[in-house]
């Protein structure tokens, strides 16, 4: 297995401290705080460890405080419901004695029912687009702040191919929508729960950035402050993150120093496998 992917799988595994208590390591990916996708994935690992015979179908999370990359995170699981068809869990993530995150996740046994979906957007195939997950060119890196260089130079366990060209140094005002193909850099086991945990991890990339597109700015702007407030996911159909998935994102609104974005995740064959939504802080620092 590719080492980048093996490292991510290890990061998402937790140490069980007690019946409903787990501990996970933190990872510095170059951001000023623990990456939100890491906490989402680890919290889902903790919840799934307390559920049998059901698969997660939705989660709703809040990011309360910045996570410390240099300290482990403790996850406490509350077994809110074990019903006939559904199970519900509430997960609280704790660092330095304080809650940094909480999440509710719902699990369901496999059932048949009505089936319909919206069509996948018509976009170029991923093979026709350039791979943008590698190390950026040196001429770009030297023009970036140190914090941004560190983030972009980190090895990624996923490869990304954007449908719309990105120019982070010279952003233009654009419509608040973007499509990005992504997949894991190597093959993974046939484990639906694992693939959903990994999708939760990668779903935190790019989503909130969509709210900046109409305003001609990007996360490289030193006066722009961005941070996730909440994150929700719904898993509709079986999926594989080691095959191409299309992240079709849009931002219907930004107001009150908050940006809102939502997305559909489509498999290569056109199936809508998941939906996401996120609201985050999008604020411009005032001059001192």
**Residue 198: enclosing H or E segment and its boundaries?**
helix 192-202
Assess whether 278 carries a catalytic annotation: yes
Q: Which of 106, 228, 251, 275 is labelled catalytic?
A: 228
99: three-class secondary structure by DSSP: strand
Q: Which of these, 39, 37, 32, 33, lies nearest to 14 by C-alpha position? A: 39
Of 204, 209, 251, 275, the catalytic one is: 204
Is 7 labeled as catalytic in the residue annotation? no
Q: How far apart are CA 64 and CA 67, in angstroms?
A: 9
Half-sphere exposure of 62 (CA within 13 A, CB side): 6
Q: How far apart are CA 117 and CA 187, in angstroms?
A: 28
Catalytic annotation on 242? no
- For residue 86, give Cα distances in angstroms to 55, 73, 114, 250: 9, 27, 18, 31
Catalytic residues: 204, 228, 278
């Amino acid at each position: 297995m590719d080492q980048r992917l093996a490292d991510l799988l290890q990061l998402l595994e937790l140490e069980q401290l007690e019946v409903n208590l787990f501990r996970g390591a933190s990872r510095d990916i170059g951001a000023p705080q623990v990456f939100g996708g890491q906490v989402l994935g680890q919290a889902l690992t903790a919840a799934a460890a307390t559920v049998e015979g059901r698969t997660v179908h939705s989660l709703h999370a809040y990011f309360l405080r910045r996570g410390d990359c240099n300290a482990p995170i403790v996850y406490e699981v509350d077994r809110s419901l074990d019903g006939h068809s559904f199970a519900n869990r509430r997960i609280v993530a704790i660092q330095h004695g304080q809650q940094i995150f909480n999440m509710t996740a719902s699990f369901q046994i496999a059932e048949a029912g009505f089936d319909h979906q919206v069509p996948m957007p018509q976009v170029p195939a991923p093979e026709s687009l350039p791979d943008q997950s590698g190390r950026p060119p040196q001429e770009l890196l030297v023009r970036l702040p140190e914090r941004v260089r560190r983030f972009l130079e980190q090895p990624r366990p996923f490869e990304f191919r954007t449908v719309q060209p990105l120019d982070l140094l010279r952003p233009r005002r654009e419509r608040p929508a973007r499509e990005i193909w992504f997949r894991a850099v190597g093959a993974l086991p046939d484990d639906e729960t694992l693939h959903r945990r990994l999708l939760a991890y990668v779903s935190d990339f790019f989503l909130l950035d969509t709210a900046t597109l109409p305003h001609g700015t990007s996360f490289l702007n030193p006066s722009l402050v961005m941070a996730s407030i909440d994150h929700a996911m719904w898993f509709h159909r079986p999926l594989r993150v080691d095959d191409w998935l299309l992240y079709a994102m849009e931002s219907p609104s930004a107001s009150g120093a908050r940006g809102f974005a939502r997305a559909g995740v489509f498999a290569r064959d056109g199936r809508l496998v998941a939906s996401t939504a996120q609201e985050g802080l999008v604020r411009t620092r005032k001059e001192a």
